Amino acid sequence: MGVGQQNTNRQQDNGNEDWDALKGDVGDIAGAAVERSRHFIDSARDQATDYVDRRKDDVAQSVADFATSLRESTHSFDERPNIRAVVDTAAEGLEQLADSIRERTFADFFNEFEGVVRRRPATVAAVSVAVGFLAARFIKSTAEDLRYDSMNASRAQSGQARARQAQRSRAGTGA
């Protein structure tokens, strides 16, 4: 084997060693990035769960307050026991819902929702379309109201500006 061929083999060996070292470094960096992203995702999930658990108590209290208000409103139906019975039943159902919200975790709600989606995908799709339609109508209506309000405000401002300009011109000619 010649000297030139030995130098070429050494360069290839050094190149392979450098390449292997580079691959190892990239692998280490990728492993550290994956570990950090897992930590980040776990932290975000924990924060979201804590937030939802705090808010669910507020929602449960709101539902219970609504049930109480509904039950108190039945006093005006004393002469109609059938209506009062229906309203009392609805209030009782709302109180049970409030208790259920308090007792269950976010994971329980999510798992139940996921089960409903899996059991009745067509119903969920229909409800989603209906909610989307209602949301679009609400947004469109709100946008039209805002546009109407801004047009009226700009008309009022331009009218006030014209009135001030007219006052100035009268004051300037009257002086």
What is the distance between the alpha carbons of residues 44 and 34, in angstroms, rounded to a whole number? 15
Residues 56 and 91 placed together within one structural domain of the fold: yes
Question: How many Å apart are CA 90 and CA 96, to the nearest integer?
Answer: 10
Check: CB of residue 84 under 8 Å from CB of residue 78: yes
| Calpha distance 102→5 (Å, rounded) | 79
The structure tokens listed for 108 are 């329980």
Say yes or no: 94 and 140 in one domain. Answer: no
Together in a domain, 142 and 109: no
Same domain for 70 and 18?
yes
Q: Are residues 161 and 102 in the same domain?
A: no
Mean predicted confidence (pLDDT) in 30-44: 86
Residue 169: pLDDT above 80?
no
Q: pTM for the whole thing? A: 0.43
**pLDDT cut 70: percent of the chain above it:** 79
Q: What is the mean pLDDT of residues 34-58?
A: 84
Number of structural domains found in the chain: 2
Q: Are residues 162 and 90 in the same domain?
A: no
| 69 and 135 together in one domain | no
Q: Does residue 114 share a domain with residue 98?
A: yes
Alpha helices in the chain (DSSP H): 3-72, 81-103, 106-119, 121-174
Residues 12 and 90 in one domain: yes
What CA dihedral angle connects 112, 115, 48 and 65, to 10 degrees?
-30
Using one digit for the tens of pLDDT, what is the confidence trace for 46-57?
A: 888 788 877 888
Residue 36 shares a structural domain with residue 110: yes
Boundary (domain end) residue, out of 119, 143, 160 = 119
* Neighbour count for residue 68 (Cβ, 10 Å): 14
**Is residue 129's pLDDT more than 90?**
yes
Residue-averaged pLDDT of the chain = 80
Q: Which domain holds residue 131?
A: 122-175
Q: What is the mean pLDDT of residues 75-87?
A: 83
pLDDT at 8: 53
If asked whether residues 106 and 131 sit together in one domain, one would say: no
Residue indicated by tokens 């994956």: 34
